[in-house]
Amino acid sequence: MSVTYRYRRQDFGALPVRLEHIDIGLNFIEARVEGTALLRMTAMEDIEKLRLDARDLAIHSVEYGSEGGSALQYKYDAASAALLITLPGAVSKGQPFSI
């Protein structure tokens, strides 16, 4: 079954972060795909929590900082297709950070 998702920038309203760059690594293993993603962002407002859209994923870990960063508390809400992340402390407006 193929599903196509179409989003426009205005569908999201004002975002708390600006995505600067994303590094994605994929490993194709028989009937599944394992992946990692490093999101480099800048806070557009003071934030302590972050909500990311995430659909049909098995999340194994979320870390703050680059590879080998500190583990973060998170909840994957499959019903609302959201990954809810608690940051290690307040991230100030204009501050770059990575997850």
Q: 15-74 pLDDT, tens per residue?
A: 899 999 999 999 999 988 999 999 999 999 999 999 998 888 889 999 998 767 899 999
Burial of residue 85 (CB within 10 Å: 0-12, 13-18, 19+) is buried
Written as six digits, the tokens of 7 are 């989003």
Closest CA to 65 of 40, 93, 91, 34: 40
Closest CA to 20 of 44, 1, 39: 39
Q: 38-49 pLDDT, tens per residue?
A: 999 999 999 999
